[in-house]
Chain A
């Protein structure tokens, strides 16, 4: 009975790993979502509305007039910016404690430090207990912070304690006067938060100057949160895929466990144990297994979740918006979900074998051949159902919907359909192999037994093929995207050196530098651009204002009106990024409403460009057009173009010489470096996807190991007969190894078309719906090599133990049962 123990262990591991995946991903997702809402809450609180300004922010006199003329006292001004302290990023919040008290929001409970100092000391900042600990700072200590590359010295004038540590983690507070000075934004506010009663919004709307926008904070927060929702759905889908693989395997092991005991069960039946009792026996056994395994999965999920949440938040930070909270929060709902799924999936996969064992006559239960016969008879039915599911999935996936979940449902149908066809394919393929193989009896026996035991081999191969196909599908998808981004960077980044000023408003020194650079030999052209977030009809959006130079719009347009480049240069239209076009169903010829200094304004869209920097949407605009509507002269960056034949190094040195002692004000990065950085960020973003892929493979590997091992162990009696009839231990070992490796090979071969199909859906459907990116499909050979190796190695490892076991079997002992 030792192989029973083996098998229980393997099914246990399969279930536990499946639950681990679901729980870990769910926890990571819910933590990231919670982090998002905490990030918002800690800076937004209970506000109902926000006033948001244009590129220059809000003139602070608006705030005083709001209070004096409109008597809107439930209002608080805020100045905010990103701050680096060492290698850590914080968000500086400059607020007015008097207004905050009115809004009853930032409940900073100063636990240490002098309060008036916060108002009087021009460098005073406040940190939470945790923040101070993390930075290893004590009260009264001075330290350096960097804002937009500028360094300032501040003093930790107070430390506050809070009942919600997570919400204020990553925040550094200061009085609004201090923050305005540190951020070099005197006279300007970034935001006015409001708690408005009935009727007030209307009154305010009529009063507000055109360049300011009143937004409902709930709507805004919701639309912000929606941005990263696709990413969370993708992760969940991957964890569910892992669970699906796990379920297939659980089903396999449960079936085997029932079959193995058919003898015992047959005896029970002849002894008068009722069908119901046997059914109950099998179910309760698997329930115990499910409980133990799901609990283990839960604990492992908690541990893995802590690792995943780091990866998830990092990806969100890279791809979407900066979260200052990275807390790992244990959501009981996630735990319950994973646990229940583990139990339900195990019980469901036990039902069929239990029912089957139950249905058969006592004598028939004992005969394996009966079962195999039933299976073989069903194979054509499987093909029919499989094809229907596959075709239905393919049909659904072609439908022009925007729903990500629908895309996944279609993909699942396709995968399931393919799985149903796999047993028949296994039978055919092994027959084909039979035709090819030399007249070696051992090998022919090995091949034949694959189709003879199709009830189990079919499932094992299907499970292995699905697991491997995930590697292929995700691998091809990431490879394609990476390639696309790489080519795109090449086409888009055609400047040689990029310079960013630490203070975009310091127009004087920027234009001085621009002039100096233009006079250098070897520099053909210097252009300036402005990148900033603006308000649009679809919420916040990134705007890219560029100087027409004939150089920088060389990127290929996905879709455009006639003479698009001309229209763009003359400021008669804007270009929008592909994700924006996709998500908002916009195209060339449409128009987009942006909130300008003079209120909302429609801009005609003359083209759509490829963009992989942001899923949120990007609008490119001619600089003069931007100036006209936003009256902003600030410069976010300068682009230097070298003459033909000037080496990048020479150009870099020349530019460095010109910048000279202005290096504190200007950072420069070469084309090569920027590409490296971009690709590094890209790779970092997909670490989580890779981890998920590896985990799915691990689940599959354990499952396949379990299925194949059980399969061979179960044939102990058969092996006994073979040994008794003269097969040597060596021949038996070869036979078993050949059989499992062959199964691995078939699984690997089947995984490739399945994987490519999956990749196609992931690229053309899932990714487009989730991110709005289109990409060029490529097939990295390494992915195929990996897939085949994975299949073969799993099979090889799975064969080792049974081969060893069978070879050392005593024919007498094995036959004693007969």
Chain B
């Protein structure tokens, strides 16, 4: 997963001017100026291999410009219904240093937080997404450990047992929106995987255009999903991604397709395909194959072949592939969106949703996963 959806400055612009309802214009996203190299002075860069430490690295890394905590998962209820969910906390720094003129206010908006929550009801073919924004202070949003606490208002992830220093699993994810609620306990079934080269995930050849990236690829998930005023007791598996960076994309990179797949046989697969101006796969695309015990194999761009079988178009006519054929080594799968329209029609628009994995010949269901697609219209 690369530098995901941090057009936060732009979202902020939208918010401040509150012009969404007035201008009615779809903003043109200048992703490169945000995720590119312009405003990086003073921020730390993902350059060297670093030593990851847990649980300390679950907390925010304020020296870097962008950071996120990404939970996705597929859940099944007692009565046979299937749900996909996504809960994400994004942090972006407006400035490497906060101004410190006295008297100091705790509202100083050095960091801006955005959170997304989405629920896909596969049976009803329904997808709902909600966004939130906040600044950090005073204690409105943040990510900390000892005890573990990732929150924006009353949306939060905390350690359920909360013993010792309060970072232990299971973690409890609590989301309440007007239309749905999630109350989920997450327990990892595999150790965290360091993506890329020992956790340094290079996104483009320019030095520093990289992120630090680790994943919990399989977490046992139990809890409650409440939608349309009905509680569903659910179980399933989740995926937790952590990534922080200052700049990632280079000129010519215009978006990505990111897969997180969990096979019923116990293996997991992560792959992101960066796209160039023509929509072709960029050389820096990569991923990992995680075996049943958590052992990782790097997937390089030349090992992976992705073929689009069917596209879905949003209201603006933007195409998002929803049926894929994935060929990795000698294996081949059909990846199909569980619901066609899982478009996140938010201040930062993208397609993100639950997918199903099929055997291309028998069309047997082999597993489930999540797919994220971002498209940037070049200016």
Q: Specify which of A96, A109, A110 is in contact with B107 (CB 8 Å cutoff).
A: A96
**Partner of A61 from B18, B19, B138, B153 at Cβ < 8 Å:** B138
The docked-state distance in angstroms from the alpha carbon of A359 to that of B99 is 90
Give Cα distance in the complex from A106 to B135, angstroms: 18
Q: A116 touching B9 by the CB < 8 A rule?
A: yes
A109 touching B139 in the complex, CB below 8 Å, given contacts A101-B133, A181-B103: no
Flag if A73 contacts B18 (CB, 8 Å).
Answer: no
Contacts of B154 in A (CB 8 A): 67-71
When distances are taken between beta carbons in the complex, the residues of chain A under 8 Å from B49 are: none
Cβ–Cβ contact A186 & B19, under 8 A: no
Q: Which residue in chain B gives the minimum CB-CB distance to A187?
A: B106
- For B138, the chain A residues whose CB sits under 8 A away are 60-61, 63-64, 187
| Nearest chain A residue, comparing its CB with the CB of B153 | A67
A59 to B, closest residue via Cβ: B138
Given known pairs A61-B138, A64-B138, A110-B17, the reply for A116 and B106 (CB within 8 Å) is: no
The verdict on B101 contacting chain A, using a C-beta distance below 8 Å, is yes
Contacts of B19 in A (CB 8 A): 109
Flag whether A107 is at the interface (Cβ < 8 A): yes
CA distance A97 to B107 in the complex (A): 11
B 4-46 to A, binary, CB cutoff 8 A, 1 in contact else 0: 0000010011011111011000000000000000000000000
Does B18 contact A100, Cβ atoms closer than 8 Å?
yes
Say whether B12 contacts A115, CB under 8 Å: yes
Question: In this assembly, does A175 line the interface, its C-beta being within 8 Å of a C-beta of chain B?
Answer: yes
A383 near B: Cβ within 8 Å? no
A403 at the interface (CB under 8 A from B): no
Would B18 and A180 count as touching, CB distance under 8 A?
no
Q: Is the CB of B101 within 8 A of A122?
A: yes
Bound form: Cα–Cα A520–B113 in Å: 57
Tell me how many residue pairs across A and B have CB atoms closer than 8 Å: 101
**A511 and B107 alpha carbons, distance in the complex (Å):** 31
A181: contacting residue among B95, B105, B109, B135, CB under 8 A? B105
CA distance A177 to B107 in the complex (A): 5
Is A207 close to B, CB under 8 A? no
Q: Are A61 and B139 also in contact (CB < 8 A) when A104-B18, A115-B12, A181-B103 are?
A: yes
Scan B283-320; emit 1 where CB is below 8 A from any A CB, else 0. Answer: 00000000000000000000000000000000000000
Decide if A119 is an interface residue (CB 8 Å cutoff): yes
Question: How far is A335 from B308 in the complex, measured between Cα atoms in Å?
Answer: 69
Expressed in whole angstroms, the minimum distance between the Cβ of B30 and any Cβ of chain A is 14
Known: A60-B138, A67-B153, A96-B135. A108 touches B107 (CB 8 A): no
Do A107 and B18 have beta carbons less than 8 Å apart?
yes
- A280 neighbours in B (Cβ, 8 Å): none
A354 within 8 A of B: no
**Contact partner, B139, options A64, A70, A119, A160, Cβ 8 Å:** A64
Given contacts A69-B154, A73-B153, A98-B133, contact A184 B103 (CB under 8 A): yes
Asked whether B22 lies within 8 Å of A119 as measured between CB atoms, the reply is no
| In the assembled complex, A120 has its CB within 8 A of some CB on chain B | yes
Chain A residue numbers with a CB within 8 Å of B135 are: 96, 98, 119
Contact B139 A177 (CB under 8 A): no
A213→B295 CA distance, assembly (Å)? 59
CB <8 Å contact, A98 and B18: no
Residues of B within 8 A of A61 (CB): 138-139
Structural contact, A109 and B109, CB atoms closer than 8 A: no
The answer, among A68, A108, A115, A176, for a CB contact under 8 Å with B105, is: A176
Is B16 in contact with A60, judged by CB distance below 8 angstroms?
no
Residues of B within 8 A of A119 (CB): 12, 94, 109, 135
A67 engages B140 (CB within 8 Å)? yes
A40-68, CB < 8 A from B? 60-61, 63-64, 67-68
Interface centre among A71, A98, A180, A186 (most CB of B within 10 A): A98
- A446 on interface, CB distance cutoff 8 Å: no
Interface of B is mostly: loop
In the complex formed, the residue of B with least CB distance to A101 is: B15
Q: How far is the CB of A121 from chain B (nearest CB, A)?
A: 7
Give the contact-size bracket for chain B.
35 or more
* A115/B17 in contact, CB under 8 A: yes
* Cα-based distance from A47 to B102 in the complex (angstroms): 32
Tell me the bound Cα distance from A67 to B106 in angstroms.
16
- Interface size on A (CB < 8 Å)? 38
Contact A176–B107 (Cβ < 8 Å): yes
| Any A CB within 8 A of the CB of B69 | no
Instruction: Considering the complex, give the chain B residue whose CB is closest to the CB of A70.
Output: B154
Do residues A177 and B108 form an inter-chain contact, with CB atoms below 8 A?
A: yes
Within 8 A of A (CB), among B136-172: 138-140, 151, 153-154, 156
Q: Tell yes or no: A118 within 8 A of B by CB.
A: yes
Out of B17, B99, B133, name the residue touching A108 (CB < 8 Å): B17
Picked from B13, B17, B99, the residue with its CB within 8 Å of the CB of A122 is B99
Find chain B residues with CB under 8 A from A97 CB: 12, 15-16
- Smallest CB-CB separation from B18: which chain A residue? A107
Cβ < 8 Å to A, chain B residues 320-367: none
Residues 109-141 of B, flagged 1 when their CB comes within 8 A of A and 0 if not, give: 110100000000000000000001111001110
User: Is residue B104 within 8 Å, beta carbon to beta carbon, of the partner chain?
Assistant: yes
Interface string of A69-98 (1 = CB under 8 A from B): 111010000000000000000000000111
Determine which residue in B15, B112, B132 has the highest number of CB atoms from chain A within 10 A of its CB, and name it: B15
CB distance from B224 to the nearest CB of A (A): 17
Contacts of A67 in B (CB 8 A): 140, 153-154
* Residue among B134, B135, B153 with max Cβ neighbours from chain A (10 Å): B153
CB–CB B104/A120 < 8 A: no
Question: How far is B18's CA from A108's CA once the two chains are assembled, in angstroms?
Answer: 7
Using a CB-CB cutoff of 8 Å, which residues 135-188 of chain A contact chain B? 160, 175-178, 180-181, 184, 186-187
Cβ A180 vs Cβ B103 within 8 A: yes
Instruction: Name A123's closest neighbour in chain B (CB-CB).
Output: B101
CB < 8 Å: which of A100, A106, A120 contacts B99?
Answer: A120
Q: Which residues of A contact B153 (CB under 8 A)?
A: 67-68, 71, 73
Complex contact A175–B109 (CB within 8 A): yes
Which of B12, B107, B133, B153 has most A Cβ within 10 Å?
B107
Contact, CB under 8 Å: B103 / A186: yes
A514 to B276, CA, bound (A): 73
Give the distance in Å from the alpha carbon of A115 to the alpha carbon of B106 in the complex: 20
Whether a CB of chain A sits under 8 angstroms from the CB of B251 is no
Please pick, from A98, A104, A107, the residue contacting B134 in the complex, using a CB distance under 8 A: A98
Q: Does B176 contact A (CB under 8 A)?
A: yes
**Which residue of chain A is the closest to B95 with respect to CB atoms?**
A120
Residues of B near A96 (CB, < 8 A) are 107, 135
Cβ–Cβ < 8 Å partners of B15 in chain A: 97-98, 101
The answer to whether B12 touches A64, judged by C-beta atoms less than 8 angstroms apart, is no
Q: A101 touching B105 by the CB < 8 A rule?
A: no
Distance in Å from the Cβ of A116 to the closest Cβ of chain B? 5
CB-CB under 8 A for A181 and B101, given A67-B140, A67-B153: yes
- Least Cβ distance of A99 to chain B in Å? 8
CB distance from A433 to the nearest CB of B (A): 76
Given A61-B139, A68-B139, A98-B133, A106 and B18 touching (CB < 8 A)? yes
> Are B17 and A109 neighbours in the complex by a CB distance under 8 Å?
yes
> Within 8 Å CB of A110, what residues of B?
16-17
Specify which of B18, B106, B132 is in contact with A186 (CB 8 Å cutoff). Answer: B106
Nearest residue, chain A, Cβ from B140: A64
A residues in contact with B9, CB < 8 Å: 116
Separation in Å of the A51 CB from the closest CB of chain B?
15
Rounded to whole angstroms, the CA-CA distance of A187 and B138 in the bound complex is: 9
Cα A160 to Cα B18 with chains together (Å): 11
The 10 A-B pairs with the shortest beta carbon distances in the complex, nearest first, are A177-B107, A71-B154, A177-B105, A180-B105, A119-B109, A64-B139, A122-B99, A186-B103, A101-B15, A67-B153
Extra pairs beyond A60-B138, A109-B18, A177-B105 (10, CB < 8 Å): A60-B106, A64-B138, A73-B132, A96-B135, A98-B135, A101-B16, A110-B17, A120-B94, A181-B105, A186-B105
6 pairs, A vs B, C-beta closer than 8 Å:
A68-B154, A70-B154, A71-B176, A96-B135, A101-B133, A116-B9
